[in-house]
Amino acid sequence: MKDLIAKLKSKEFKCVAKSYARAVLASAVTMGVALAADMAPQYAILIGSLAAPAVKWADKAEKEFGRK
């Protein structure tokens, strides 16, 4: 049990969980835009594909966008 708790607190697990959450968010945005706006699927996919990088950019802890 202690090993499981230690793994859940690890930095690697937190990074994986954040990445998964961003993917779920991008999927939800894509589906929401497609259903709410009743637009063509290719436009909803384009908007949804921009959602995950935008969320990652907004996260101050991410280092990939040149943050210190």
Q: 1-15 pLDDT, tens per residue? A: 767 677 777 888 888
Residue 16 inside a domain? The answer is no
Cα 5 off chain centre by: 24
Question: Per-residue pLDDT averaged across 40-51, rounded?
Answer: 83
Provide the residue range defining the domain that includes 36.
23-50
Please state the pTM of the whole predicted model.
0.64
The angle, 0 to 180 degrees and rounded to 10, between the axes of the packed helices 11-37 and 41-58 is 150
Distance CA 57, CA 65 (A): 7
What pLDDT is attached to residue 16?
82
Location of structure tokens 């690697």: 12
Q: Look at residue 33 and tell me whether its pLDDT is greater than 70.
A: yes
Whole-angstrom Cα distance, residue 36 to residue 40? Answer: 11
**What is the number of domains present in the chain?**
1
30 lies in some domain: yes
User: Could you tell me if residue 58 is inside a domain?
Assistant: no
**27 found inside a domain:** yes
Kindly report, residue by residue over 51-66, the tens digit of the pLDDT: 878 877 887 777 766 6
